[in-house]
Amino acid sequence: MFDLAILTVFPAAVAFAGAMDLFTMTIPNRISLALVAGFVALAPLAGLGLGDMALHAGAGLLVLVSGVLLFIPGWIGGGDAKLAAAVALWLGFDHLFPYLLCVALAGGSLAMLFITVRSYPLPAFVCAEPWAVRLHDRRSGVPYGIALAAGALLVYPTTSWFALG
């Protein structure tokens, strides 16, 4: 059961967060909270000591503070900041830089995709879908939760969590 939890809780939660951001432009707090709860429940079972858990919490706190500082001027959404912090909690400092690098690359690619797609008319078969119309609107933002999820899913297999599963 532990192996199943290790291999599904984190990937499923971040994938769901990315999908929610795509379709609603929001990342519900319950997803970030579920990630934190999952970490708290599984970290001791994975053999992380208090010192290791404190370091993971430090990585999450650092990313949360950075996210809040980016949220204040409106550069990122609050859900993005909380999701990134919850992911950093799981990954810790050891995998934080690769995660942020993957997020930056995925986010840049995502932004370029949206710029390109928005330069063409919306196909008629999706005009009735409110989420597609919203995403196609040039005044709308980019659902960066997709990039946060992509970075998390790319880095997670390199972590000790994945090796446990």
Q: What is the pLDDT of residue 140?
A: 87
Task: Report the distance separating Cα 103 and Cα 152, nearest Å.
Answer: 8
- Residue 17 reports pLDDT greater than 70: yes
DSSP string for residues in 40-54: HHHHHHTT--HHHHH
Provide the residue type at 70 as one letter: L
Q: Which two tokens stand for residue 112?
A: 């370029």
- Whole-angstrom Cα Rg for the chain: 17
Question: What distance in Å separates the CA atoms of residue 85 and residue 27, rounded to the nearest whole number?
Answer: 13
**How many percent of the chain have pLDDT more than 70?**
99
- Cβ-in-10-Å burial (0-12, 13-18, 19+) of 90 comes to buried
Separation of alpha carbons 2 and 120, rounded Å: 47
The residue ranges of every structural domain in the chain are 2-164
State pLDDT tens for residues 144-164: 999 999 999 999 999 988 776
Element holding 94 (H helix, E strand): none
Alpha helices in 119-159 (DSSP H): 130-136, 145-155
> How confident is the model over 67-82, as pLDDT tens digits?
999 999 999 999 999 9
pLDDT at 97 over 60: yes
pTM over 0.75: yes
